[in-house]
Chains A and B, each alone.
Chain A
Amino acid sequence: MPTETRGLRVTRAVAAGFDGHSAAALHPDLRVFTGDLVRPYGLPLREDLLAEGAGHDYGEMAAGLIEQALPGGEPADLLILAFSSPDVLPAAPSSLRLSRHCPGQPTAFAVCDQGSATAFAALRIAAAHHRTGGCRRAVIVLAEQSALHYRPAEPVELPAEHRAVVLVCEEAPGEGMRVRQQAEPDGAQALRSVLDEHRRLGPDAGLLLAAGLASGDTPEGARAARPGQPFTGVWSLLADRLPGPGPLLVADHDRRLGRLSTLTLP
């Protein structure tokens, strides 16, 4: 009897924006840490943001979303927090804190330092864990908050609002999700490459584009994220789309790092 293929794929997604700020944004620790962080680089602090307590805490933002995403208490084996811009708790292991809110108290860690491609790296890690026997259900937490408490050394797009997305990856009959990442410095070429891949998936395939990829006209049949959420934008679109029929291609291009990333859901 042939063995049934069971792949890991994103089956559910919950997204939300957050108003206000968290208590951590007013805690003196944030000022101390941030001051020490930027001093060797000679970057000025944003005293205005520190004084008003601007900013949010990724753990606080995502805790309720995890409960929404797993309403039946389905246990997860793995929880990965992915972020690009920093949390207002920059030294804290927020993923561990979140694991307490997650059924199954999964093994938790975080990934960062790959710009918007970091979200895809987290999914790639979950898929590799599944295929090497390390997990049957994974929770991926994507978070960004709008306050950067110093002047950045280089121009960078910051989020317009605090936003988090929780993706639930589960084992299901059939092929699993496929994550691809490649070097591609040119945005126009990145879009052409995505459209080629989309065509190969067939006429019924959906396409979700990050705002940066769809800077011109949005191709027919595609949906583009609204500008302003460089890390979570396209994943908020996925939350609108799921559960829904596949196949579906999700694409993002990090211009600063010249990295094109795609996720194919069967």
Chain B
Amino acid sequence: MTALEAVAVHLPPRLESIEDVGARIGLTPRQLRLFRRFHGLDQVRLDPDGTLLDLLDAAVRALPELRGNEHRVRYLLHARNTPVAVPYPLNPLHQLKERFGLTRADAFTVTQQACAASLLVVDLAGRLLADDGDPSALALVVAGEKTFTRDAQVLPDTTIFAEASTACLVSPGGDRNRVLSYAVRQRPEFYGRPAEDPELMVRYQREYQPTMIETVQAALDQAGLDLSDLALLLPHNVNQASWRMICRQLGHPVERVVLDNVLTVGHSFAADAFVNLRTATTGGALRPGDHYLIAAAGVGATFAAMVLQH
């Protein structure tokens, strides 16, 4: 059974208030009030001088469990929201592979499932490793992106993006953070640019909560669990308001949702899943044996949920 062996997080040291970001990218006072008062955003982590390679490199360096296990890494996978992230043919992922001596790894990026890409990549890594049949093999999953263009800086009325990055070792078996289920729901009728299409955005926002709830329920059903069995829900850090509403509809206590990073890190694309897992494990919110669920969604639209056991 697929397991997350180790997770590392890199938080760029620069912490910008959403008002500073807003001044830089041209958000209106009304938009900023909405983000702060309604959505509960406060600050975002950014690395204005760093490249994508710098971000991913810092996350992998923060993963001591990789040392001495480089030869076991069969896959190096970037879970990415934005399909094109650097000018072609530059390839930070392959630079990362060389830099860390991952000579046996197939390295490629998995994208076009928005910020739900990290859950897809964990599922894919598990399938590839299981199919290879080598119980000692590992996949190194990295996530994190640069906020280099407007669509990667803000999703109107929804979120402001940040630049935290993560590295996660996935194994085909193991006791730590075992993956019990994975559910994905795609709604391609929401393909388009919500930032430029208010009608599309309204339809997407209307369907967002019911589809997210349906996906969470599907993952729980697959795992044979009820919502009450979950010690914790790890959301993506898109905003606080949507998760508070989802919790109300689900009947899940919001105290058992990791929302702190919405305030202090920001929505770091597909890296949120691992940022929040790290917060939950280092803060003692998860005990051995606890069940938890990671949920994510993004424009396009893809909704995903994964149930794991710590």
Contacts and interface: CB of A to CB of B under 8 A. Distances in A.
Contacts of A154: 89-90
A92 B186 CA distance: 15
A26 interface: no
Interface stretch (B80-88, B163-171, B209-217, B254-262): B80-88
Interface centre among A85, A107, A128 (most CB of B within 10 A): A128
Interface in B86-120: 86-91, 93-94, 103, 106-114, 117, 120
Given A110-B111, A113-B109, A134-B127, A96 B87 contact: no
Interface string A53-97: 000000000000000000000000000010011110011111111
Interface stretch (A29-37, A206-214, A234-242, A243-251): A29-37
Given A99-B186, A108-B188, A152-B89, A93 B112 contact: yes
B227 interface: no
Nearest to A131: B131
A111 B111 contact: yes
Interface in A94-112: 94-97, 99-100, 105, 107-112
Contacts of B110: 109-111
Interface residues of A, number: 56
Given A96-B188, A100-B188, A113 B78 contact: yes
A6 interface: no
Contacts of A40: 51, 148
Contact of B130 (A108, A115, A132, A156): A132
A129 interface: yes
A23 interface: no
Nearest to B104: A183
Interface string A149-160: 010111010000
Given A109-B113, A111-B109, A132-B127, A36 B148 contact: yes
B207 to A, nearest CB: 15
B151 A91 contact: yes
B300 interface: yes
Contacts of B186: 96, 99, 105, 107-108
Interface string B236-275: 0000000000000000000000000000000000000000
Nearest to B132: A128
Interface residues of B, number: 45
Contacts of B191: 92-93, 96-97, 100
Contacts of A32: 149-150
A191 to B, nearest CB: 21
A114 interface: yes
Contacts of A38: 87
B86 A93 contact: no
A43 interface: yes
B124 interface: yes
Nearest to B90: A153
A257 B91 contact: yes
B108 A37 contact: no
Contacts of A127: 131
Given A86-B84, A90-B84, A112-B108, A107 B184 contact: yes
The 6 closest A-B pairs by CB, nearest first: A90-B84, A36-B149, A93-B112, A93-B300, A114-B108, A113-B109
29 contacts: A32-B150, A37-B87, A39-B148, A43-B87, A85-B88, A86-B84, A90-B82, A91-B82, A91-B152, A93-B83, A96-B301, A97-B188, A100-B188, A108-B188, A109-B110, A110-B110, A112-B84, A112-B108, A113-B91, A113-B109, A114-B106, A114-B109, A117-B108, A121-B106, A121-B108, A125-B128, A128-B130, A128-B131, A181-B106
Interface of A: 29, 32-33, 36-41, 43, 81, 84-87, 90-97, 99-100, 105, 107-115, 117-118, 121, 124-125, 127-129, 131-132, 134, 148, 150, 152-154, 156, 181, 183, 256-257
Given A37-B84, A92-B83, A115-B91, 4 more contacts: A95-B112, A100-B189, A107-B186, A257-B91
